[in-house]
Structure 1
Amino acid sequence: MMLPGLTAGTSLPNAESATLFARGCTVFPGGTTRATIERDPTPRYALKGEGAYLVDVDGQCFLDLNNNFTTLIHGHAFAPALDAVARLLRDGTCFSNPTVHEIDLAELLVDRIPAIEQVRFVNTGTEAVMFAIKAARAFTGRSGIAKIEGAYHGSYDWAEAGQRGTPSTWGSPEAPAAVPAYAGTPDSVADEVVVIRFNDAEGARRRIAAAADRLACVLLDPMPSQCGLIPPDSDFIAAVVETARHHGILIVCDEVLNLRQGYRGASARYGIEPDLVAAGKIIGGGFPIGAIGGSRRVVGVFDGPTGQARVAQGGTFSANPISMVAGRISMEGMTLAAFARLEAMGDRLRTALTAAIERRQAHYVVSGAASLFRIHPKAMLPRDYRECYPLSDEATSMKAMGRFFQNEGIILPVGAAACLSTAMTDADIHKIVDVFEQFLTSGTGGEGEAYR
């Protein structure tokens, strides 16, 4: 089947991508500069994005459910942000001086997100989490952190611990191991990280209380994607917050991905009142960004010039005007009505996908909230990272589903959060459901005894 937009006369659909990947392998270890790039068997190289769609270098057009790992809440090439950036470019792209643009975006975030009274900007979500942890350490005088097993928080050593466990390494359910993310991680990192299981309220109380005298913060993703994109149980949230508060431990909510769950973010959605919030992705309008926000008393650790602040936070490109302007314009476009429309689309999609599964009695379940969703090759909805972890046949099924969607003109992330954008229409939602129905009846992974 020829995909929409395929250049006439192309003998191999991915010929140009294959050529570029061969070039990339000569200059990059593994051929690309991001480990998260999907390849089947080679990556698909992007040429341009237009709204809800991505066009690759071979001229093929795809409905994009990745949106650069949930970043592009308005889809590709959001015109208001691009127009504002184009006007700004000739005035300069970065300065050692502050600009009014950083104040504008900061005021927007402070106005919207209840937990944020003041904010500092960085360049990535990884940096936002890293500096939030540093702030918690400086404020409390303690070095350890607690975090959810399997939750992804970027590439800071302590935030990475416990995010990549396997059945052979993750330890007992009562005492999950702080599995290092890479060979050579100092042993001391694991000694300073307490891992708790998502939605295990009693386990959270016990584990946090036992290590309370050395914990600076609990790093909490309100709905961690790698744990299945499952909503938190209210008793789990209560257990974490009450135990932390009792022992003077700060709550750090990582909303780098989940800020897109609503106008006021995910913490407000689930009734969490964090001391610090790490943000990123959608607040940059398609440009690099990260932010650490919170109460004045905690973010006050950043107050003062280098050498005097309890936590020195700089960054050559932090608060660069391009990201600040694009982020402000993008966030201004995310009104209450825009968030409501996205959530309604997400609800319709998850309901329709679930109905298709039930009609076929297929071995799949759907999770997610707001504009986020995941399809799991499992009979029951997982409750944490261990239950979400794919068995070998499940991983094969997921790869088959990703390939099937790709062949039908849809980019569906494999084993990660898929997301909608404001550029999408009801027709796009129908297309996703139709392709999923086709997959379930194709025999590629939707039928057969193993998937019933």
Structure 2
Amino acid sequence: MLPEMAVGTAALKRPRSADLYHRGRAVFPGGVTRATIELDPEPIYLASGSGAYVEDVDGNRFLDLNNNFTTLIHGHGYAPVAEAVGALLRQGSCFSNPTQHEIALAELLIDRIPAVEQVRFVNTGTEAVMFAIKAARAYTGRSAIIRFSGCYHGSYDWAETGQNGVTAPGGVPGTIGVAAYAGAPAQSADDVVVLEFNDVEGLERGIKRHADHLAAILIDPMPSRAGLLQPLPKFIKRLNALSKRHGILVIADEVLNLRQSFRGASRRYGLEPDLLTAGKIIGGGFPIGAIGGRAEVMAVFAGDGPLVPQGGTFSANPVSMVAGLIAMQALTHEEFDRLELMGQRLCGNLRDCAARLDRPFSVSGAASLFRIHPKPVLPQTYAETRMSEAEKACMQDLTRFFRERRGILLPFGAAACLSTAMTDQDIDQVASVFEQFLKTYDFKDLEPKS
């Protein structure tokens, strides 16, 4: 049962978090080391986690719907991983030579994911996407890529272009991507065609115009940062056909969405990738990334003088390999089925509640992922997910209500997720708190539901 928090604007006292943030501001730009940390007004510093719950340094306990940005699919302190890693550390944490552990995890991924015939391990999702793009360029001899507006693919210049949307149209509508950071090299945009997710006609125009220069189409099968948009079957079918016709490789970025089924998101939605990137859940709570795909494409990484050199001091380190293997082995068909049912139940309850109370909210997502939108109609494009100032304020209040009054960490403006450590009681509590918010919040600044 979730703890009942006191009601009030600043209901929870966090003096130790405030003190740590004061110290952090002296040593970190902005006081923290990740741009994704929520400051409201200071970050919550956590001390421990167990199962579906975390506890902060001030003793406050929370149900965690973030799970380190969807990484911890088994929740916190997963005992089988903790025990195996503890034993492994006494044997050595990393070596310059390979170990048997990397082969075991690779074999599991190849056995599960239809698009993966061979694998290379790296340390992050960003690295995985970066090397997948490099591999596609080396294999095709072309330099340009297609990516979709609003989608997040890590911190590589070409992968970032367009993640914040587009500026004025270029030769093809919506092809000039907004730079992801100040000072980004303008020439990176020359090799990035930014299109709209689910826009079949736009996809056809973009490929027709740029086919001779395109190495790859980079796609998140259900774009999380763009709002967990549901892919249209006709869009996926056309993408598969056009990429094959023009010899363009498809890179499925499943760093986040691999958790959508036993065989991943591409299989779920009918996408036929040549390369696939993974991370998060495959590391069991430790840093990891992976590039997988067809053997003939992956061959660019092989040989004494490979077309794409790829190293990494901590790539395929034994800790991540062992933790990932144990975590993935525990993700059986039955566990994925249970997560699917919990996700369906939660999303259904949230939608029913908004409809019953006539509140301007919709819910997107699939399997163990969901996102609440302060909009009466479910967004179908990235542009439709963008929030007005009133909508942002409403979502901030929703996040605070969950956190301060009912002890639930609900990510702001990002995908929330379930874990195998959660119970039906946890799911029902999340839906109940949402209902309480809808009943008490003043929606006067939002458009009424028509």
User: What's the TM-score, normalizing by structure 1?
Assistant: 0.95
One-letter code aligned to 1:431 = Q
The one of 293, 311, 314 aligned to 1:314: 311
Aligned partners of 1:198 and 1:227 also within 8 Å? no
Aligned partners of 1:220 and 1:252 also within 8 Å? yes
Structure 1 gaps of 5+ residues are none
Give 2:427's aligned residue.
429
- 2:385 is equivalent to residue 388 of structure 1: yes
What is the alpha-carbon distance in structure 1 between the residues aligned to residue 169 and residue 373 of structure 2? Answer: 24
Aligned partners of 2:195 and 2:203 also within 8 Å? yes
Cα distance per residue 1:7-26 (max 9 Å; x no partner): xxxx9611111110110000
One-letter code aligned to 2:21 = F
Aligned partners of 2:391 and 2:446 also within 8 Å? no
**Cα distance, 1:184 vs structure 2:** 1.1
Structural mapping, 1:58-207, within 5 Å: 58-165=58-165, 169=167, 171=169, 174-207=173-206
What is the alpha-carbon distance in structure 2 between the residues aligned to residue 22 and residue 303 of structure 1? Answer: 49
Structural mapping, 1:266-345, within 5 Å: 266-305=265-304, 308-345=305-342
Give 2:47's aligned residue.
47
What is the alpha-carbon distance in structure 2 between the residues aligned to residue 5 and residue 56 of structure 1? Answer: 14
SS in 2 for 1:227: coil
What is the alpha-carbon distance in structure 1 between the residues aligned to residue 46 and residue 442 of structure 2? Answer: 27
One-letter code aligned to 2:248 = I
One-letter code aligned to 1:228 = G
Name the Cα RMSD after superposition.
1.8
Aligned partners of 1:227 and 1:383 also within 8 Å? no
Aligned partners of 2:237 and 2:270 also within 8 Å? no
Aligned partners of 2:158 and 2:192 also within 8 Å? yes
What is the alpha-carbon distance in structure 2 between the residues aligned to residue 302 and residue 4 of structure 1? Answer: 54
Cα 1:294–1:423, aligned 2, differ >3 Å: closer, same or farther? same
What is the alpha-carbon distance in structure 2 between the residues aligned to residue 199 and residue 104 of structure 1? Answer: 37
Aligned length: 443
Give 2:355's aligned residue.
358
Aligned partners of 2:390 and 2:446 also within 8 Å? no
**Cα distance, 1:165 vs structure 2:** 2.8
- 2:236 is equivalent to residue 237 of structure 1: yes
What is the alpha-carbon distance in structure 1 between the residues aligned to residue 448 and residue 214 of structure 2? Answer: 44
The more displaced of 384-393 and 107-116 is: 384-393
What is the alpha-carbon distance in structure 1 between the residues aligned to residue 437 and residue 267 of structure 2? Answer: 37
**Cα distance, 1:176 vs structure 2:** 3.9
Aligned partners of 1:5 and 1:61 also within 8 Å? no
SS in 1 for 2:250: strand
Aligned partners of 1:72 and 1:282 also within 8 Å? yes
What is the alpha-carbon distance in structure 1 between the residues aligned to residue 200 and residue 432 of structure 2? Answer: 39
What is the alpha-carbon distance in structure 1 between the residues aligned to residue 20 and residue 201 of structure 2? Answer: 51
Cα distance per residue 1:153-184 (max 9 Å; x no partner): 00000000000137xx3658932421110111
One-letter code aligned to 1:184 = G
State the identity as a percent: 59
User: What's the TM-score, normalizing by structure 2?
Assistant: 0.96
Aligned partners of 1:4 and 1:61 also within 8 Å? no
What is the alpha-carbon distance in structure 2 between the residues aligned to residue 170 and residue 360 of structure 1? Answer: 40
**Cα distance, 1:226 vs structure 2:** 1.9
The more displaced of 220-229 and 173-182 is: 173-182
One-letter code aligned to 2:210 = A
